[in-house]
Structure formats: C-alpha cells, structure tokens
Structure 1
Amino acid sequence: MNKQTRWTDRGCFASLPPAILVLGFALLQLGGCASHPAQSNGSTSATPSTGSAEADKNAQIRLELAEGYYQRGQAEVALSEVGKALDQAPDYVPAYTMQALIQMSLGQNPQAEQSFRKALSIAPNNADALHNYGWFLCTNRRYAESFTMFQRALAVPGYRYPERTDLAYGVCQYRDGDLAGAEKTLRAGFALDPANPALSTNLALVLYRQNKFKDALFYIQRVNSGKYASAQSLWVGVLIARRSGDALDASSWTTQLEQRFPDSREAIAVQQGRFDDPSLLPR
C-alpha cells in the first residue's frame, strides 16, 4: 500500500484512493481516516494466506475493480466485485475490510459490523481491520470499544501506519470529551508525521479547546502557511489568532478565507462577525 497521504480541501483523507475513504474527516468535523485494506504483507496486516497465490491475485484484481466502481459512485457494483473477490478467496481479509467500508458508506451498519467481525475472526491482529473497525465504532459513539480497537492496532508488531491510527484515536477521544487524552494521542501522531495537516489541525483545535492558544497557534500556522489550508483550517486559525493576540495572522487568514472560500459558511461567519458561533466547531 502506498503510504503517500492524499488530501482534499475538506481536510484528511487517507492513505488510499479517495473512494475507499468513506470517513470524511473534514478537519473540523474531526473525522478519522479510513484506510484501504492492505494486501497480505507479513506482520503489518497479519493476513493469513488463502492457500492459493493465484486466488489471492484474482481477489486483489477484483478489489481494484471495486475501488474503481466506488470512485465513480457505483457502490452496489463495487460490492458485487468484492463478492466476486470473496468467491475467489473466501478467507481474503482485505476483501472483508473493503466490503465493510463500502457498507459503511451506504449506511448499512449491521452488515458493515458483520464484515469487520468476519475479517477479525480470520486475522485478529490485522491492523487495518482493527483501525477501520475502531473508526466504525467511534462513528457510532461506541467510544470505549473503539479505543480498544485502536490500541490493538497500535500494538501490532511492525504496524506501518501508527500515525493514521493516532489521528483517528485522538479524534474519538475528543468526541468522547477527553481533551487531555486527545492531546496526548495527537501529539504522538504528530511526532511520527509532522507534515500531516490533519494531525496539526486537530491538535490545534484540541489545544484551543483547552485555552492553550499560543501552543495551538504553532500547529495551525503549519497548516495555513502551506498548500493544504482549507476554509475550516483558516477559520480555526482566525479563532486561535484572535485569542492569542496575533493580529497579523488573524488578518491574513481572514483575508485568505474571504478571497479563497467566499461562499463557505466560515467566510460568511467572518463577514458577520460570528466568531463565537458554536455550530462552526465540533462539540
């Protein structure tokens, strides 16, 4: 799996094709990143062999087709291709994980959970399945269960993407009201991937919520001074700069927000002076 992280103007978005990113992070909505189910590659995925290299290869081809259909908005066709992959290799864990992600995007939560559980019954230490199941549980406000899944993923020997799980884990701690825990987890992710704007933005927001304005300013500056600045990151930057007394950044980010994203709700809020509007930040 390519470790290169893709981004959108809405924020995070994953270490895989955007289609399989059913978790819209949208920065300030504080979503986690869903991950494409990795292929069998040793301890990282802990995916057992189906016993047939040809069957695995054929299943992988079907999964690639499924991704293509999903990217074109053909989720049902994508699910059909995943089904064909499982016909080729019934114990192919990446297929169950992808199936679950697509089902999540369709709002088929019972089916998605069944798919996640099937994947983990075959490979209990598959870090990708653990990560994505953790995010599924988080989006359904089953926070304690989600934390367990994230912790298990992070404990998998050789796991290649701990920063991705730190992001999702920290976001879910924030949603559960544990700001101190979220700060600690997001800082751990930032230490591993300081160039990740999703980690910097979420960490800045968590610090802002704790009235640590100077510290928050450091992290949001990293995002808003680069190419990944969004309407949401600029809005957060404006709020932080105003509270930290940084008039220069507050003015600069306000101008960028109004010029680059004039129709965004954040730009409209700036124009109306609604800097205390709670609806513009997640609870």
Structure 2
Amino acid sequence: MLGLALALTVAGCATRPEANGASAQTPNSGNEQADKNAQIRLELAEGYYQRGQTEVALSEVGKALEQAPDYVPAYTMRALIEMSLGRNAQAEASFRKALAIQPNNADALHNYGWFLCTDKRYAESFAMFKRALAVPGYRYPQRTDLAYGVCQYRDGDIAGAERTLRAGFALDPANPALSTNLSLVLYRQNKLKDALFYIRRVNSGQYANAQSLWLGILIARAAADTLEATTWTNQLVQRFPDSREAIASQQGRFDDSSLLPR
C-alpha cells in the first residue's frame, strides 16, 4: 500500500505482489536466463503500473509470462492491473490461474479476497482472507486483517469487523488505516471512549487527513468532548479548506450521512 492506503475505505487494500515465506517469488521454469528475464519484465510492469501506464504494464506482464508461464506473482500482478481497469472477468481468471498453480500463495489469496469483496461477494472473500491468514510464515497478516475487517463492516458485521481490526492493530499499532477503521466501527457501536482513543492516534500524527479529522469530530461531538471537537474542526478547516468535510463542518452539516460509509 502506498502511504495511507485508506482513511475510511480501502480502495488501496489490493497490493502488488510482495515477498513472503510461502510464496514462490522467483520463477522456476528450468531456464536460468528466462527466469531472470521474467523477473525483470515483472519489475518493469510494476513500475509502469505505479505510474498509471496500465496497458504498457499489462504488456510487460505478458512478456514475463512468456518467459516463465508458471510465474505466480505475474498472474497476481496481471489480475491487479485488470482489476484497476474494471476488467473483472479477466482479473478473476488471472487470480484463479495463480491459485491453481500455487493454492497457498498468501499474496494471491489476499488480493483475490479483496477483489471478491469489491464485487460484494462477501462470503467468498472471507474464505480467501482466512486462507491467507492460515498460510504458515505469512509475513503480512495485518494487511489482510485490515481488508477482512473492512469487508466485514461492508457486509454489516460490525462486531466481527471490530474483532478482526483489533487483531490487526495488535500486530501493527502504528498503522493509521487500522486505527481509523477501528475507530469507525467502534463509533458505529457507540463505544465512544475507545473510538476516541484510536482516532486520536491518527489525528495527532502525520497521517491525519480530512476524513480522519471528520470522523474524530463526529466521535468527539457524540462523546460531548467539546475541546477535541473544536480542535479537530479548526485543523480540518485550516489544513483541508476545500474538502467536502471542511465545507460540511462550516455549514454545520454534522449529520450528513454521505460523508461516512454505511
């Protein structure tokens, strides 16, 4: 994830292939030069993808797979690019191909789970997240807890989302996305003291943004914490004056449901 991958939603929860103990990140086609070429092509694809040159990135992934047809990270990368282009059928085919080659690739399981979540296929997405978390040696369970918890929230399981996000927070307490989303689900359950604790962690640091400040204002107002609410309102207006949240605060629209996910 780049920077703060999300504030109250997780459009950035899909992540490019990363090394972990359970995933074969180096190709093994039996041809050393072909394997090296495939790795280089995939690195180029990632660079193009990050710069928004998606079609060029797809071309490079295709060249990587020509060199190493069973290169799982290349299929995962292809799925992510296709997903970003709205080509869901192709993305799903790529995810399935990756998992057919390596069923316990935690990276592919995580990203496929997020794909299914964005398609509102929640039960299927939860199964993928659970499989990813069960992979021995998985190095990034906190990112899967984050995605899993947000998807539970989207499915209406607020209590389940709290449990999952707390598990992620225990692993990575410095992660602002986990703190923000955990504060949101606590706020939805009227657990205002706990919600304030987690949103303070974000709003007092470098990752505070318009959405986290807005959420903090709503929690503080509900908790009758006038000082905190005033402090965050001032920060919101001063730092993000053109944001929807700042405009809503100046207009007194603190009950505007469109500014927080349901």
Q: Are the counterparts in 1 of residues 10 and 150 from structure 2 also a CA contact under 8 Å? A: yes
Please report how far the alpha carbon of residue 81 of structure 1 lies from its aligned counterpart in structure 2 after TM superposition. Answer: 0.3
Q: Does 1:49 align with 2:32?
A: no
Q: Percent sequence identity over matched residues?
A: 79
Q: What are the residue-to-residue correspondences of 1:126-205 with 2, within 5 Å?
A: 126-205=105-184
Cα deviation 1:250-274 (Å, max 9, x = unaligned): 1111011000000000000100111
Q: What's the TM-score, normalizing by structure 2?
A: 0.96
- Please tell me the residue identity of whatever aligns with 2:249: V
Whole-angstrom distance in 2 between the partners of 1:264 and 1:146: 32
Cα deviation 1:176-196 (Å, max 9, x = unaligned): 000000000000000000000
- Please tell me the residue identity of whatever aligns with 2:83: M
Counterpart for residue 17 of structure 2: 37
Please report how far the alpha carbon of residue 57 of structure 1 lies from its aligned counterpart in structure 2 after TM superposition. Answer: 2.3
Seen in structure 2, the aligned counterparts of structure 1 residues 267 and 220 have a Cα distance that, compared at 3 Å, is: same
Q: Are the counterparts in 1 of residues 199 and 216 from structure 2 also a CA contact under 8 Å? A: yes
Whole-angstrom distance in 1 between the partners of 2:206 and 2:161: 26
Q: Are the counterparts in 1 of residues 104 and 131 from structure 2 also a CA contact under 8 Å? A: yes
Whole-angstrom distance in 1 between the partners of 2:226 and 2:102: 53
Seen in structure 2, the aligned counterparts of structure 1 residues 263 and 85 have a Cα distance that, compared at 3 Å, is: same
Q: What are the residue-to-residue correspondences of 1:174-253 with 2, within 5 Å?
A: 174-253=153-232
Q: How many residues align?
A: 261
Q: Are the counterparts in 2 of residues 186 and 203 from structure 1 also a CA contact under 8 Å? A: yes
Whole-angstrom distance in 2 between the partners of 1:156 and 1:162: 10
Q: Does 1:66 align with 2:45?
A: yes
Q: Are the counterparts in 2 of residues 32 and 169 from structure 1 also a CA contact under 8 Å? A: no
Cα deviation 1:207-226 (Å, max 9, x = unaligned): 00011111100000000000
- Over 2 Å off, 4+ runs: 29-32, 46-57
Unaligned runs of 5+ in 1: 13-25
Unaligned runs of 5+ in 2: none
Q: What's the TM-score, normalizing by structure 1?
A: 0.89
Task: Name which of structure 1's ranges 57-66 and 158-167 shifts more when overlaid on structure 2.
Answer: 57-66
Q: Does 1:125 align with 2:120?
A: no
Q: Does 1:256 align with 2:239?
A: no
Of 266, 271, 279, which aligns to 2:245? 266
Cα deviation 1:2-35 (Å, max 9, x = unaligned): xxx641xxx41xxxxxxxxxxxxx3223446122
Q: Are the counterparts in 1 of residues 169 and 175 from structure 2 also a CA contact under 8 Å? A: yes
Q: Secondary structure at the match of 1:27?
A: coil
Please report how far the alpha carbon of residue 67 of structure 1 lies from its aligned counterpart in structure 2 after TM superposition. Answer: 1.6
Q: Secondary structure at the match of 1:29?
A: coil
Please report how far the alpha carbon of residue 63 of structure 1 lies from its aligned counterpart in structure 2 after TM superposition. Answer: 1.1
User: Aligned-pair RMSD on alpha carbons?
Assistant: 1.4
- Please tell me the residue identity of whatever aligns with 2:13: C
Cα deviation 1:76-118 (Å, max 9, x = unaligned): 1110000000001000000000000000000000000000000
Please report how far the alpha carbon of residue 46 of structure 1 lies from its aligned counterpart in structure 2 after TM superposition. Answer: 4.8
Whole-angstrom distance in 2 between the partners of 1:57 and 1:163: 31
Q: Are the counterparts in 2 of residues 231 and 257 from structure 1 also a CA contact under 8 Å? A: yes
Whole-angstrom distance in 2 between the partners of 1:251 and 1:196: 25
Q: Are the counterparts in 2 of residues 46 and 125 from structure 1 also a CA contact under 8 Å? A: no
Cα deviation 1:130-177 (Å, max 9, x = unaligned): 000000000000000000000000000000000000000000000000
Whole-angstrom distance in 1 between the partners of 2:193 and 2:170: 19
